[in-house]
Structure 1
C-alpha cells in the first residue's frame, strides 16, 4: 500500500463526493422520518417471507447513527453501521478539505492487496448477512 499526500488544494475528489452523499443521507436520516412518511417503505422480502434481505436494517442504521445511537445501529446491521460512520468521517474530511484546503491522502493498493480485498469483502458481507438473519429469525441464539 502506498500513501500519497497531494499539495494543498480545494479540488473535489472521491472522498469529497462520498462526504457529500454521506452528509445528505445523514441529514435526511436525522430530520426527515422517511420510514414514517412513505407508506410503502420497508423490506418487501422480509414482509412477504419473514427473511431479511442484504440491506435490511440500513434505514434504522442511518437514523440511529444520525442520532448518535451507535449501539442500536450496530444491532440493526453492523456492516451498515461501519459504512454510515465512514460516510460521516468522509463528510468531516470533505469540510476540512474544502474549507481549509487540507489535502486528503490518496491510497494506492498493490495488485495483491486489491485481490485480497476482493476476496475478504464478500466474506465480510456474508458474515454480516448471517448476523442479520440470526438477529431477525433466531434472536434466541444471540445471548
Structure 2
C-alpha cells in the first residue's frame, strides 16, 4: 500500500512549520507575556520527554547550537527531518522517487520500540538537566 506522506516526512513538515514560529517566539512571549507551559511539569513538577523542545527550537533557529542541545537534543532529529523533507518531496514531485510504502508489522514494532527508547532517553536527560529525582 502506497501512502502520500510517510511519518518522517510529516514530522519534517511539522519541523518546517515550527521554524518560523520559533524565530518570532521570543518577541511574541516578551510582548504578550504568554508562554507554553508543560502540563505534566505544571501539574506534577516532573518534566516530560519533550520538555525543552520549544527552548531548543528557538535556540537552534537563532544559531545557538549549544543552547539547543542543552535544552533538548531531540530537536536535532526534528531539524534533520525538516531539512531533508524538501528535497525528498521535490524528487517525488518530479518522479525520481516513488511514494512511500507502508512498513511491515515487524518494522512498525521495531520502530515503536526505538521511539519508546528515545522518549525514555529524553526523559532521563530532562530529569538530570532539571535536577528532578
- What's the CA shift for 1:18? 4.7
Q: Counterpart of 1:14 in 2: which secondary structure?
A: coil
Partner residue in 2 for 1:77? 72
Q: TM-score, normalised by structure 1?
A: 0.65
* 2:7 equivalent to 1:28: no
Structure 1 distance, partners of 2:34, 2:14, is 24
Give the strand-richer structure, 1 or 2: 1
* 2:127 equivalent to 1:136: no
Residue in structure 2 matching 1:14, options 2, 5, 21:
5
Q: TM-score, normalised by structure 2?
A: 0.68
Matches within 5 A, 1:57-136: 57-94=52-89, 97-98=92-93, 102-103=96-97, 106-136=100-130
Unaligned runs of 5+ in 2: none
**Over aligned residues, Cα RMSD in angstroms?**
3.2
Unaligned runs of 5+ in 1: 1-5, 7-12, 139-143
**Is the radius of gyration larger for structure 1 or structure 2?**
1
Structure 2 distance, partners of 1:91, 1:30, is 19
The answer as to whether partners of 1:52 and 1:132 remain within 8 angstroms in 2 is yes
